[in-house]
Structure 1
Amino acid sequence: MEALKIIGQEKIGKIKFTGIEGGFGEGKKAMLARDIALVHSRLVKEINKLINNNRLRFKDGIDTIDLKQVI
């Protein structure tokens, strides 16, 4: 897995979030669950629950990365 790096503030519409890159490969952008929750006006625990309820649809290391396991 590629090392994650913070690339600065990104913007979707009027919402600013932390831009991160890596993990999925060099130059590949990613978003934190925290920022997805912000964009969709949801709680982080709701986003995590939705992701976990749909784990069979995602491929580890391609669609999702567990940052707790990276450290």
Structure 2
Amino acid sequence: MNGRANYAKDKWTWDNTMDFAYGIVKNKDEDGRKSTDRIYLDSKVGYKINDKWNYFLRSTFYLSLPQVTILKKMIKL
């Protein structure tokens, strides 16, 4: 599942991307096993200085689903 959300007003821009992936592979005579899992978030805020230059701040968050289980145990959810 993918998603995008973008905003622009005057000299400001805000661009966001989200990607969620989870897959299971099941071969004949085998149990199913996880093939992929990830949560990826990317966010950028920009400010236009002039026609050729922009400042921007970027933040990226990446998480694999087994890490979610570890985090739950750490904070006892």
Structure with more of its chain in helix, by fraction = 1
User: Which TM-score applies when normalising by structure 1?
Assistant: 0.27
Structure with more of its chain in strand, by fraction = 2
